[in-house]
Structures are given as structure tokens and as C-alpha cells.
Structure 1
Amino acid sequence: MKFNFNASPNLRQAQSTKRIMLELMIGLLVVFAFSLVYYNNAWGMDYAMQAVKLMVVSLVVALVTESAWAFFTKKENKFDLTYLKNYLSGSFGWITAIILTLMCKIDITPYALGVSTFFAIFFAKLLFGGFGNNIFNPAAVGRAIVFATFMGATTDVVTSATPTTMIASEFNWLVIKPEMITEMMEKLGGFKDLFIGWYPGAIGETSALIILLVGVVLAIRKVIDWRVPTIYLGSIFVLTAAIALMRGVGSYNGLPGFIWYPLLHVLTGGVVFGAIFMLTDPVTSPTSAQGRCIFALGAAIITVLIRVKANLPEGCLYSILMMNMLTPMIEKALEGKQLVLRKKASIIFGVVAVVGLGATLLAGSVVEAKEPAPQVFVSTKDADVDKFKAEVTEQFVNSDGSTTYRVKAQGYASIQKPDVYNEFEIIVKDKKIVSLTPTKVNDTEYVGDRILAEDFTKQFKDADLTKDVQVEVNDVVTGATFSTKSAVRAVKEVQNVMGN
């Protein structure tokens, strides 16, 4: 009978496993500290405390789960504090808890995170035999459970959509025309915010700068294999650059499409975090250097394919789990003397690269690029506008000869409550609108109140009230059609009072 044995990479290092895990934990806590600074400064102390609360819940659940496992699987009926301490110190459950917390958004409920932590520790690690025996990355399994089960489990701590969610849902991961590129990057805040991580997202995944700095230190300290994040991030860059060249993605701020577009993929979502803290997991990745290179390349290909073809907000997580399943096959293919197998490994890497590039280009060729929305206008002559009730509640002449009209008009809220109105102040001079200002908007928060935006109200300036008045619905007030009609109805009521 032939037995195959692969020595753990930790055995070839001067550092002990505990030392490696301690340094890894310190790196993770540095990333967590940055997130606390961001949420405290950008959103307030309550948000920072929410992040702390989530971290504590995950750590407690992980430690309780592992303690219970240690009790029920104790050897020779021996269980005391020394036994428990030794067990926990060699199981490293807190590392899984920290990583899982950093992968979650801050608005997840503690209950949802606690349940996901339990599944990550119990089903993804302990049932496989504990640390060193698990097939799947436990934190990735926990995050997948959050995606599949607890997407609706959010607290009243609410932040705006993450960049990956916005890019996937609003821009299909592919924009070509300059005006759409500019619109998307303005919503994202530009590459500076993306690189620094000054935006809402998963608690620990936003700051590429901090994560990369920590990654460099960990690589120098031999805690992680530098090849894995280098090949993973580099491959994502090359693959998405190929898509940009094939589809003719336009430039942004002087950067050609084959530069800014792959940078966007690298800097958004959990790509950098996954590259440094998850793909480098020595337990669920191949033991040989060549195997880890193939592992990282495969994960990069799957990440890009999931993003552009499946149009999911994040492909990194699932790429890790899928490559975890392929790790035994990679190990089997590279069994034997490593020096002899270098050529074989190079051939496998080349074949995977060529097939991956072909699959990526094929997927990229059928992605529907986001096009500018057709212009939609609302006019005072539209029949739909007449369905809204409106009334001039007050009017008076100003010292400069202009007249101020205070008008109330029905909007979206009137569907449920007919007596609820939006209110406007319209100043008119020489039968032209000087200004239109919504003074009270009762429509849906974050949607109807978009008519307060200056880019919307300035459309009314200098409008001739003796003629049809129309404004554009798109861009500024997308989704707020009822509120737009409410403003136009207010203008029409002024026209009626003036006898036009």
C-alpha cells in the first residue's frame, strides 16, 4: 500500500505555528483598528461601537463552540482549565472569528454573525477534525452562510451601498462610454478613497492601503507566501485589462481603460483582503510553492468570471471555496520530487492561464455594457401631471418686483395619504421662474427628497411660464418620478393662477 505524505510548510520555517498565528492576528487587528477610525470619523461613535460589538459576539461564539467541543471530545475524561487552555491555544478559533467579522458589513445583526460563526467553527472546521484538517476556509464558509441566509438580517445601523454592489447592480461591471465612466467614478469617490478605504463596505475589506502594508510585513516575516497575493492580484489585473482592451473601455482622468478598469477590480470588494488573509491559508491551500501559484491563478480566473458573467457583487469569496475543493487535485498532480515536477507545474500553470484568459474574454464579450439612460422629461402639459392636486397657499410681491408663490402639490406620499402634500416656494419675475425651492418634501426618504438637489431645481430657472415647462427626470432624481411630477404640478398651478 502506498501512502502519500505532504509536509506542512510550517515545518520548514523557524517560526512556530502559534507565532505565525499571533502575527497574523496582529495584522488583522491593525486592519480592524483602521475600520474603527473610519466609522468613528465618518459615521459616529455608535458605528464604531457596532463594529466592536460584532467582533466580541463572533469571538465569544467561536470560543464557546470550541470549548464545548473540547469538553465533549476530551481524552481520558480529563477536562480542566489547563486542558482547555492548551486546546484553544492550538485551535486558533479566534482567527476565524476575526476574519469573518472583518468580511461582514457593519449593518449585520449580532445574531446573524453569531450563527454564521458557529457554522464556520463547528461544521467547516471541528467536524473535519479541527485546525489543520479542514478542507474549506472556515471564515469563507461563514461568510457564504451570511450571503445565503442572512442578507436581510440588518440592524438599524444603515450605511450606503458598497462599491461592488453598486458597480454590479447599476453598471453591470462594465462601462465603456466616458459619461458613464465619469458618473460611476463620481459615485465611488474616485481611486483615492478606494485605495485608502474611506468608504462603507465590509468592516475590514475596504482599505487596500492598510491591507497591502500589513501583507508586505507578513510576507517579510514569512507568515504568508508572497507568491499567492502577487499572482492573484496580478492575474485579476491582466484578465480585466484584456476585457477592457477587447471591449474598448474609455479613459478616465487620463488613464486608459486597460489601466483604470483593472485597478477598479483590484481595489473594490474583498479582493485585496482575500489575497492577503484567506488565499494564503496554509491549511486549505496546496503545500508546494508551485501548487499555491496554480491555486492563486485559478482563484483569480473564477473571481473575474463570477463578477462579469454572474454579475454578483463579489467573486472572491466563492473563488476561494471553489479552489479549496480543487486543492487535493492540485496536490495529487504535483506529488513526487519537486525539482522534477517544476516543468510539469509550469505546463499546468500555462494551460490554466490560457484557458482562463479565453474563458474571461468569452465572458467579457457577452456582457452588456451599461449605457446612458435615455432622457425622460416631465412636462406641464403631461396628462399624468394633471392627476396631482395642487394649490397656491400664499403669494406676495417682493421689493424687486418679483412675486413669491407658496404652493402645495401632491406627490408619492399622496398615494397612501391624499391629504399629504409636498410644498414649494416659487419666485417669478417677468413671467419667468427666478427660483423653485422645495420647502417640505413628504415623499420617500432618500428617493423623493432627491428633488431637493440643486441640479434638479436649477432646471426651472428662467423657465418661461407662458410656455410649456419641462424638466429631466434622469440622473439626479432617478426613481423619484412622482416627486418630479409634484414639482412640475406646482409650477403648473402657478401658471393657472397667472392665467397662462
Structure 2
Amino acid sequence: MKFTFKPSPNYRDKQSTQSIMIELMIGLLVVFAFGAFYYYSEFGVNYAIRAVLLLLTANVAAFLTEAVWYACCKKNVMKEISASFPAITATILTLMVSINTSYYALAVSTVIAILFGKLVFGGFGQNIFNPAAVGRAVLMTSFAGLVVADFATGATPTGAYASAGWISTSQAAFDTFAANFGGMSNLFVGMYPGAIGETSALVIILVGIYLSIRKVIDWRVPVTFVVTMFVLTFMVGAMHGQGLYYPIFHLISGGALFGAVFMMTDPVTNPTSAPGRIIFAMGCAILTVVIRIKANLPEGVLFSILIMNMLTPAIERLTDGKQIAMVKKNLLSMAIVLIVGFVSVGLCALAIEPKEVNAEVGNGGSADGKDVPALSLGNPVSLGEDFARFDAQVESNENGVVTVKVKGYGLIDPEGHAGESGIDYGRNAFEITIDTSVNKIQSIKNTAFGDTPGFGDKATSQEYLDTFNDLDTTSLDQEIDTVTGATWTSKSVIAAVQAAITAVNN
């Protein structure tokens, strides 16, 4: 007699893989919608359209890759794709990139993520690495310089803070830094440029709570990651006289919460047991902090996930067995991981050396005293464009010499005394001389630099400012070049020029 049976578990579950993935996709689209809304409200409809096109690019690349693969394997393409969920990987990858990522770079990275992150291992459910993390690593390492110059760029909060050594000299200095992104409250809400889906801690937390209640994700993973990272960064901050703002900043900036909710919870690439998942999340938190404060990277979440993906089989063997009988062993394993984490992070924290950053730059010098990178002009923009977002303010206008202050990506005052040296940190200042007899710009000088070295200083170099000489001031209907890699700052320069021309022409 032949018996037909299915392996365990054989109880009926209300949730199917299909329904879980649908709810996960809805959560991802909510996060995407917030990002698209921000770019629409802050920069205009073209930015929102670009966000949508990036999402479509990644999804088309993902579906085509799987279609070709299954066709070559002589399988039912539609049936296999419906059970493989390529849209999840494509959407997560899109949410991890900035708005100025090129379509080509995103498409190639998506193909590699699907092909080498999932399909070569046997497809959905058999991959050892998180496919979206694989794609983001490829994008970061192989296409870092391939961006579209006419879309907003600038230092992310983690990138800017990392450039200052991850430590501020006082809370006043930190507050000055955070003010460039709208303060800690705005960092929590997420109304600032960054990766499309990683900026809003509020939205990610709300979506994470919903997905946890619906049992789409295991709440233990993000909660363990957040608690562990908070404790470790609190220790680092305490060692250097930082306040509670320090661990909170680490959690709400960068990809910490996004990675915790949408990537570490991947049931395929993390352990299956509850103790195993807790150890996995602890490891991710420890590696994230170590990479952030010690490695030459402002982030850390991405590579911590990939490293822990490799350790998942070892964690599975460590926690394998009857869980009730293994409570003491599992608790001991968690304690050992935490001790190793505290020691490792503590040793790294001892080596932190805050970098002295001079926010004052004249005549196009570099804010860190180094040579300004070679100038590379990007796509032109119209001088008549609405640059209200840069908040250009005319300070004085005497005999055609106009001084203007304009919004920029600011730095921490290294001395912790914002304003004492007469510099408005977080703002750029320019002295623009206009010859009213011939209605042309004679010269522009950068008298104060409030941006991040390596991001904005190219656009305040004298080489770039000299490109405005002889510009006709009788008309705003002209095109001006931006600077590749410093689009935000070069547009702030143009905003200052626009304000000066308007002031002279009354």
C-alpha cells in the first residue's frame, strides 16, 4: 500500500507565503510612497517621477532576469515567477538607493542581485545571502560614481557625521550639526534627502509594528537589533562624553531601522529558531557599530547583514535541538556574543579621534585644508528656476557689491561654540560684485563655507565661481552649469547669484 504524506509542519496556517509577501510588498510601498512624497514636496514633480521610474527599472530588470533564467531552464516561466517574488528584491533595493542613482547602475545591480544572490543557489528559499543586500553591495562598490548630476546630492547624516569622526565636542556642536537636517525631530520624521526608503524612522517603525502584528516578520529580530545597537552606542557615547542623543542618532539615521525591519527579518537567510534569530540580530548590531565607528564607511548595516548571512548555518548548528532543554545553552551563547560585542566595540571606541573641521573657507579653498577635487561640470539648470528651498538671504547691497547667505549642508563647529567666530554654520556666504554699468557679474567670492568637505567644496571653488563672470544680469532666462557630485551646493551658489541679481535690479 502506498501512503501519500507531507513533511511537517502539517497544521493549517491562515497565512500562505503568497499572502505574507503581498503584505510585505504593501509595507514596502508605503515606505516608498513617503519617499516619493518628500521629493515631490521638496524638489518638485520631476523628482517624484524619477523615484517611480527607478522602482520600475529595478522591477523590470528583476522580472526579465527571472523570465530568461526559467526559460533557459525549460520551466514554466509564469508559474516559477509567481512563486519567486522578484518584486520584493527589486523594491527593497530601490528603497536603499538615492534619487540620483542612474537607471543603468540600478538595473545592472538588480540583475546581479537576482541572478547571483538568488537564482544560482536554486531560487527563492534556497539563497544564502539576502539578494537585495547583494545588489546594494554591487551598486556601492562598482557604481559609486555613476550618478545623475542634475538631481539632489549631498552628505547624508551618517556620512556627514562620519567625516567629523563620529564624535562632537559638545551637545551644542551636535545640535548645530543636526540642525542642517532639520534637527533630531526631522531626522525621525525623515523629511531630508537620503536613500529613498531609509530616511523616515517614523514610517519604518509604524510599518514594522504592523508587519509584526500580522506575523509577516519576527518582531524579535528588529527589537533585538535596536536594543543591542542602542546599548552599544550608548556605551561609545558615554566613553566620549556624549549624551542620549548619540545612540538615538545612530538608530534613526542611515539604514539601521530599514535593515532591521525589512532585511534582517528575511526568513530564508536568517536562522529558523528564536534563539538563533536573536543571536543573528545581536551580531548584526555589533558589526554595524564596529563598521560605522572604525571602518572607512559611514554605514555598516548592509555588510553586517551579509556577514551574518554567512554565519547563519553555524548559528543554526549552535541552536539546533530541543529548545526547552537548550535554554541554558542558548542563554550562555547570547551572553558570550554580547560580551564579545562589548569588548570589540569598546576597543574600537577607544581609537575614535574626532577630526578637526574648519567651517571657514575663503576664495574657494577646501574646508579640511586639502586640495579641492578636480572640477567636473554636470548638467545645466535654468537661472530662473525657483531656488526658494535654498533660502538665499541678501545681507547687504552697496554699489553693486552684494553679500548673500544661502542654505547648505552644514558641519559641526569643531569648537562647539556656534556663532562665536561670526560664521553662520550650515550656511554658505558669497560676495557677488555686479557691474551695473554693463549689467554683468564681475566676480564671486565664497566668504564662508557651511557644507561638508568632499561633498560641497567643489562647487565653492574659485574655478567654478569664475564660470559666472560676465553673466548677463538683465535676464534670468539663462542656463548655468552645476558641478558633478556637488549638485546641491552648486544650486545653492546659483540661488545666491539669483538673489544678488534680483537685489541689484530691485
TM tier, smaller = 0.7 to 0.9
Q: For residues 16-27 of structure 1, what are the structure 2 equivalents within 5 Å?
A: 16-27=16-27
TM-fit CA distance, 1:371 = 4.0
> Which residue is equivalent to 1:392?
none
- CA distance, structure 2, for counterparts of residue 269 and residue 374 of structure 1: 24
TM-fit CA distance, 1:158 = 2.8
Alignment pair present for 1:48 and 2:57? no
- CA distance, structure 2, for counterparts of residue 14 and residue 227 of structure 1: 21
- CA distance, structure 2, for counterparts of residue 125 and residue 370 of structure 1: 41
**Residues 346-371 of structure 1: CA deviation (Å, up to 9, x unaligned):** 11111110110111111011110244
TM-fit CA distance, 1:13 = 4.8
Alignment pair present for 1:317 and 2:302? yes
Does the C-alpha gap of structure 1 residues 269 and 287 become closer, same or farther in structure 2, counting only changes over 3 Å? same
The structure 2 residue matched to 1:227, chosen from 220, 232, 235, is 220
Does the C-alpha gap of structure 1 residues 220 and 312 become closer, same or farther in structure 2, counting only changes over 3 Å? same
> Which residue is equivalent to 1:368?
353
- On the 8 A contact 2:228/2:282 being kept in 1, the answer is yes
> Which residue is equivalent to 1:160?
154
- On the 8 A contact 1:164/1:268 being kept in 2, the answer is yes
- On the 8 A contact 2:292/2:298 being kept in 1, the answer is yes
Q: For residues 30-69 of structure 1, what are the structure 2 equivalents within 5 Å?
A: 30-69=30-69
Alignment pair present for 1:329 and 2:309? no
The structure 1 residue matched to 2:92, chosen from 77, 81, 99, is 99
Structure holding more helix per residue: 1
Cα RMSD after superposing both structures:
3.4
The structure 1 residue matched to 2:252, chosen from 261, 267, 274, is 267
TM-fit CA distance, 1:182 = 2.9
The structure 1 residue matched to 2:324, chosen from 339, 345, 350, is 339
- CA distance, structure 2, for counterparts of residue 206 and residue 152 of structure 1: 21
SS in 2 for 1:437: strand
The structure 2 residue matched to 1:307, chosen from 292, 314, 324, is 292
- CA distance, structure 2, for counterparts of residue 446 and residue 455 of structure 1: 9
**AA aligned opposite 1:145:** V
- On the 8 A contact 2:58/2:94 being kept in 1, the answer is yes
- On the 8 A contact 1:97/1:117 being kept in 2, the answer is yes
- On the 8 A contact 1:473/1:481 being kept in 2, the answer is no
Does the C-alpha gap of structure 1 residues 152 and 9 become closer, same or farther in structure 2, counting only changes over 3 Å? farther
- On the 8 A contact 1:236/1:300 being kept in 2, the answer is yes
SS in 1 for 2:402: strand
Does the C-alpha gap of structure 1 residues 302 and 137 become closer, same or farther in structure 2, counting only changes over 3 Å? same
Structure 1: which 5+ runs fail to align? 1-6, 76-82, 250-256, 379-411, 414-423, 429-434, 459-470, 487-500
- On the 8 A contact 1:177/1:371 being kept in 2, the answer is no
> Which residue is equivalent to 2:498?
none
Does the C-alpha gap of structure 1 residues 10 and 206 become closer, same or farther in structure 2, counting only changes over 3 Å? farther
- CA distance, structure 2, for counterparts of residue 182 and residue 361 of structure 1: 25
Alignment pair present for 1:110 and 2:103? yes
**Residues 90-142 of structure 1: CA deviation (Å, up to 9, x unaligned):** 00111000100111111011110000000000011000000000000000000
- On the 8 A contact 2:292/2:299 being kept in 1, the answer is yes
**AA aligned opposite 2:402:** T
TM-fit CA distance, 1:232 = 0.4
Q: TM-score, normalised by structure 2?
A: 0.72
> Which residue is equivalent to 1:276?
261
Q: Which has the larger radius of gyration?
A: 1
> Which residue is equivalent to 2:337?
352
TM-fit CA distance, 1:329 = 0.4
The structure 2 residue matched to 1:239, chosen from 232, 245, 251, is 232
- On the 8 A contact 1:377/1:473 being kept in 2, the answer is yes
- On the 8 A contact 2:430/2:447 being kept in 1, the answer is no
- CA distance, structure 2, for counterparts of residue 161 and residue 99 of structure 1: 22
Alignment pair present for 1:189 and 2:182? yes
- CA distance, structure 1, for counterparts of residue 41 and residue 302 of structure 2: 29
> Which residue is equivalent to 2:131?
138
SS in 1 for 2:180: helix
- CA distance, structure 1, for counterparts of residue 10 and residue 43 of structure 2: 41
Structure possessing the higher relative contact order (Cα contacts under 8 Å, 6 or more residues apart)? 2
Q: TM-score, normalised by structure 1?
A: 0.73
Q: Percent identity?
A: 48
- CA distance, structure 2, for counterparts of residue 74 and residue 474 of structure 1: 64
**Residues 133-177 of structure 1: CA deviation (Å, up to 9, x unaligned):** 0000000000000100001111132333221221122x2222133
Alignment pair present for 1:437 and 2:402? yes
**Residues 364-401 of structure 1: CA deviation (Å, up to 9, x unaligned):** 111102446397899xxxxxxxxxxxxxxxxxxxxxxx
TM-fit CA distance, 1:474 = 6.0
- CA distance, structure 2, for counterparts of residue 318 and residue 334 of structure 1: 23
- CA distance, structure 2, for counterparts of residue 136 and residue 102 of structure 1: 18
TM-fit CA distance, 1:14 = 3.3
Does the C-alpha gap of structure 1 residues 436 and 30 become closer, same or farther in structure 2, counting only changes over 3 Å? same
Number of residue pairs the alignment of both structures matches: 396
My pick for the range that moved more, 338-347 or 105-114, is 338-347
Does the C-alpha gap of structure 1 residues 299 and 476 become closer, same or farther in structure 2, counting only changes over 3 Å? closer
- CA distance, structure 1, for counterparts of residue 359 and residue 154 of structure 2: 26
The structure 1 residue matched to 2:241, chosen from 222, 243, 248, is 248
SS in 1 for 2:326: helix
Alignment pair present for 1:209 and 2:202? yes
TM-fit CA distance, 1:476 = 4.3
The structure 2 residue matched to 1:287, chosen from 265, 272, 275, is 272
Does the C-alpha gap of structure 1 residues 131 and 456 become closer, same or farther in structure 2, counting only changes over 3 Å? closer
SS in 2 for 1:298: helix
- On the 8 A contact 2:217/2:265 being kept in 1, the answer is yes
